[in-house]
């Protein structure tokens, strides 16, 4: 894939609508079809995503793609630890993705999306067993055929995570152009040591996040979840004078 300042052969309105569709149709999918995704398609998505903006062009990302038996092995390794309470208690996130203290409005948003998902699945408040079972589906990539793990060199600082976010968004948007869906998963952070061992990562690599990639199974009720977004006026201030 090469850069081009010339847009595709479509009028400006059609181009705008195509871009907006890709962004607005992106959502975190939690149930996938087993349909195979060719390696060439994954490479094509990453080939587009690599043009994300980065400070002084450092391009801080490393991508580890797992499919087939390799994916099965790593899922099984994580699940073994997840199922063993003694081992599971020794696992912790390497760095803070979420705030240590939740405040409004973030706490309310977190609770709302969680209870919406559980409500769709018929999981009642206090049903910890079913909540845990649903959460554990993260570690099977929600049955997606492709799993991605993202790492970064430990020398990088917080600014590189901003770069990384743009790269991840590019992946998710480019996937929509192929009719594919994704789910970015911070849940994998807890098992970064297991992942590092399974992938034989260099000690200089820090785990960032995981992601499921595949064709969404729209027959599953969890994929009807629609999250609410704050209106532009609630987070934007315009200055003109």
Asked whether the predicted pLDDT for residue 135 surpasses 90, the reply is: yes
Query: Could you give the CA distance from residue 65 to residue 69 in angstroms, rounded to a whole number?
Result: 12
Specify the pLDDT at position 10: 80
The edge-to-edge listing of strands for the beta sheet with 205-214 is 61-66, 146-153, 205-214, 181-185
- In the chain, the domains with their CATH numbers are 27-230 (3.40.109.10)
Query: Could you give the CA distance from residue 195 to residue 207 in angstroms, rounded to a whole number?
Result: 9
Specify the pLDDT at position 69: 97
- pLDDT, tens digit, 9 for 90 and up, residues 80-93: 999 999 999 999 99
Specify the pLDDT at position 168: 98
- pLDDT, tens digit, 9 for 90 and up, residues 16-48: 999 999 999 999 999 999 999 999 999 999 999
Specify the pLDDT at position 37: 98
User: Mean pLDDT over residues 109-138, rounded?
Assistant: 95
User: Mean pLDDT over residues 225-239, rounded?
Assistant: 96
Q: How far is CA 87 from CA 77, 150, 175, 176, 207, in A?
A: 12, 24, 36, 38, 20
| SS3 at position 98 | coil
| pTM for this predicted structure | 0.94
Average pLDDT, the chain: 95
Asked whether the predicted pLDDT for residue 7 surpasses 80, the reply is: no
- pLDDT, tens digit, 9 for 90 and up, residues 170-220: 999 999 999 999 999 999 999 999 999 999 999 999 999 999 999 999 999
Tokens, residue 37? 């995704």
Handedness of CA 10, 14, 19, 21 (dihedral sign): negative
Tokens, residue 28? 């975190």
Specify the pLDDT at position 2: 75
Asked whether the predicted pLDDT for residue 151 surpasses 80, the reply is: yes
């Amino acid at each position: 894939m090469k850069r081009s300042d010339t847009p595709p052969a479509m009028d400006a309105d059609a181009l705008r609508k195509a871009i907006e569709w890709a962004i607005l149709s992106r959502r975190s999918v939690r149930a996938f079809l087993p349909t195979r995704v060719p390696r060439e398609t994954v490479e094509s998505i990453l080939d587009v995503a690599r043009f994300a903006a980065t400070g002084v062009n450092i391009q801080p990302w490393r991508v580890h793609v797992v499919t087939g038996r390799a994916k099965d092995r790593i899922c099984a390794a994580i699940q073994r630890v997840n199922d063993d309470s003694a081992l599971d208690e020794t696992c912790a996130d390497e760095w803070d993705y979420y705030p240590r203290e939740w405040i409004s409005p973030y706490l309310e948003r977190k609770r709302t999306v969680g209870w919406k998902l559980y409500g769709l699945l018929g999981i009642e408040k206090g049903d910890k067993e079913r909540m845990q079972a649903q959460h554990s589906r993260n570690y099977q990539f929600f049955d997606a055929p492709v799993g991605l793990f993202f790492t970064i060199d430990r020398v990088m600082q917080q600014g590189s995570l901003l770069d990384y976010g743009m790269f991840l968004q590019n992946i998710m948007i480019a996937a929509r152009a192929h009719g594919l869906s994704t789910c970015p998963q911070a849940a994998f952070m807890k098992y970064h040591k297991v992942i590092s061992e399974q992938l034989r990562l260099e000690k200089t690599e820090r785990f960032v996040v995981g992601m499921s990639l595949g064709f969404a199974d729209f027959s599953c009720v969890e994929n009807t979840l629609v999250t609410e977004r704050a209106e532009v006026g609630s987070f934007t201030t315009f200055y003109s004078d």
